[in-house]
Amino acid sequence: MNFFSIRRASAVPLLLAATLLSSPGDARSAPTVVKMATLAPEGSSWYRVLQEMGEEWRKASGGSVTLRIYPGGIAGDEDAVIRKMRVGQIQAAAITGIGLAYLEPSFYALHIPMMYESDEEFDSVRDRYAPVLERKLEEKGFIVVNWGDAGWVRFFSKDPVVTPAEAKALKLFQWAGDTNLVQLYKETGFHPVPLSTNDLLPSLQTGMVNGFSSTPLVALAFQWFGLAPNMADLRYAPLTGATVIGKRAWEKIPADLRPKLLEASRRAGRRLRAEIRRLNREALEVMVKNGLKIHKVPPEVQAQWRKMVEDNYPRIRGNIMPAEAFDTVKRYRDDYRAAQRGGKDAVH
């Protein structure tokens, strides 16, 4: 498994793609309907939080802005959603940070494998870097209304895989259409199999692929783990996401309503962050009860993973993501670690 094994399989149900349609004429005279198509299964935690956010939008706007959710990938995979946003067919989307890298490559920096060691460390980096990403997206015509989480990406496979060498022998799911990442896989000795997300389950059934990367909650929600019932206990990378709305569409909403909708969206993002982390822990317990085997990764093997990933950092810095983005998140991470060490020294 490589840095980019997180690219899409883990991304699948995190959040959503959406279409924002405003009624003609004065926004006060008729409701603005936000049509939101999400890859998340109906009834999932992501879907439920979206419903709650929609209800808050309705209340905050006095019924003038409503959210209509279409679950199950009706709008297509993330790459399709981004293409539709670029040509104006879709005006809003809540989507993974990896997906948002289509719009702004700096989003890759939040998902660098083996860069972060804990939720707290990642939160510190993201909270500091989020305003930079929000400014970059706004310059490109998109407004971030909230941030969310999907959890930590793990590695699932049909047969036990613990070491990088074992992972390189796998036929590894990779999202179709991302030719740069597929090529990077190949150059570093992996065997990526580009597919649509909807093809992952049947491809596991036929043996076309025998491994994928995902967060536990995603693997459980889509039942992928049943066909790849081995998981390496390696917190490879965090997966985050953001809900964005096209600036022109956002500005069609009355100015006095936007702060209310923004605050409702931020509250939803905070609730989602806490809930998803709890549910990821519970998802592991449920999967273990249903046949998942978790394989410990000894410290010396974790060191192998870290070396493999860090050896690839020069390939991604300045190529996959801007050098400035890579350097900034690394500096923020180092600042956090230095502060933690300083706090411990002060205690002693």
pLDDT above 70 for 222 = yes
Sign of CA pseudo-dihedral 285, 174, 333, 94: negative
So what's the pLDDT on residue 154?
Answer: 94
Choose the weakest-confidence range: 63-67, 111-115, 138-142, 199-203: 63-67
The structural domain count of the chain equals 1
So what's the pLDDT on residue 100?
Answer: 86
Q: What is the pTM of this model?
A: 0.84
Choose the weakest-confidence range: 87-91, 137-141, 152-156: 87-91
Which tens digit of pLDDT belongs to each residue from 248-271?
A: 878 888 899 999 999 999 988 888
pLDDT above 90 for 171 = yes
Query: Count H helices, E strands: the chain?
Result: 12, 10
pLDDT above 70 for 25 = no
Mean pLDDT of the chain: 84
Which tens digit of pLDDT belongs to each residue from 158-168?
A: 999 999 999 99
So what's the pLDDT on residue 152?
Answer: 94
Mean pLDDT, rounded, for 167-191: 84
Tell me the two tokens of residue 227: 């066909």
| Residues 283, 222: Cα–Cα separation, whole Å | 12
| Residues 75, 281: Cα–Cα separation, whole Å | 30
So what's the pLDDT on residue 13?
Answer: 41
Task: Give how far Cα 303 sits from Cα of 3, 4, 297, 307, Å.
Answer: 15, 18, 10, 6
Give the side-chain half-sphere CA count within 13 A for 315: 15
- Closest by CA to 218, choosing from 150, 278, 271, 281, is 150
List, in sequence order, the alpha helices (H) in the chain: 45-60, 78-86, 97-100, 119-139, 164-168, 179-187, 200-206, 216-221, 247-252, 258-289, 299-316, 323-347
So what's the pLDDT on residue 167?
Answer: 93
Highest mean pLDDT: which of 44-58, 141-155, 188-202, 319-333?
319-333
User: What residues pair up with 67 in beta bridges, in sequence order?
Assistant: 34
Tell me the two tokens of residue 106: 């700096």
So what's the pLDDT on residue 177?
Answer: 65
Strand 92-96, strand 32-38: pairing: unpaired
| Residues 214, 156: Cα–Cα separation, whole Å | 7
So what's the pLDDT on residue 206?
Answer: 96
pLDDT above 60 for 24 = no
Higher pLDDT, 33 or 210: 210
Which residues span the domain enclosing 113?
3-347
Domain containing 294 — which CATH number?
A: 3.40.190.170
Question: In a 3-state reduction of DSSP, which class is residue 26?
Answer: coil
pLDDT above 70 for 209 = yes
Mean pLDDT, rounded, for 39-44: 77
pLDDT bucket at 345, cuts 50 / 70 / 90: low
Percentage of the chain beyond pLDDT 70 is 89
